[in-house]
Copies of this chain bind each other. A is one copy, B any other.
């Protein structure tokens, strides 16, 4: 691994650790002390707009549906999310956010927007394209890795 690769690698590791910690603390110390970072990510995966089924949300988060059931129980209890039965297929549970849940969603979006802005504000438009290209390429690489392992 050459020096430059190494530097980029160290940046990624450091950024990864920092994001984990900052996200966790932002909520624990703020207005919404009762919501963990994992719960915020679940709220993010449920989304603001259409209702999503348990299976869909679990797939997005790459967790089992059983884990999501437990998480959903807590989110419902705390008043961030709601369960709905699908009319067309009564086995299916649809999830949606409450007003309080949508507030968390917006706060978290803002944090993410800040992250992106901190990177892009020092770059020109052309440079932003390059950043996007690099991230896309990483994403494709990871998807191949993930799905080839699971032979899907």
In angstroms, how far is the closest chain B Cβ from the Cβ of A71? 15
A interface majority secondary structure: helix
The interface bits of chain A over 1-22 (1 if a CB of B lies within 8 angstroms of the residue's CB, else 0) are 1001101110111111111111
- For the complex, what is the distance from the CA of A118 to the CA of B12, rounded to whole Å? 13
Structural contact, A139 and B21, CB atoms closer than 8 A = no
A25: which B residues are within 8 A, CB to CB?
149
Residue of B nearest to A131 (CB): B134
A140: which B residues are within 8 A, CB to CB?
118
A29: which B residues are within 8 A, CB to CB?
149
A133: which B residues are within 8 A, CB to CB?
122-123, 127
A92: which B residues are within 8 A, CB to CB?
none
Residue of B nearest to A118 (CB): B141
In angstroms, how far is the closest chain B Cβ from the Cβ of A146? 6
25 contacts between A and B (CB under 8 A): A4-B128, A5-B113, A7-B132, A8-B119, A8-B128, A8-B132, A8-B135, A9-B113, A9-B115, A9-B116, A12-B135, A13-B112, A14-B139, A15-B135, A17-B60, A18-B146, A22-B149, A114-B141, A115-B141, A115-B142, A119-B135, A120-B134, A122-B134, A123-B134, A127-B134
Instruction: Please judge, given known A-B contacts A25-B149, A134-B122, whether A12 and B142 are in contact too, CB under 8 Å.
Output: no
A91 within 8 A of B: no
Known: A5-B113, A13-B112. 4 other contacts (CB 8 A): A8-B120, A12-B112, A17-B62, A118-B137
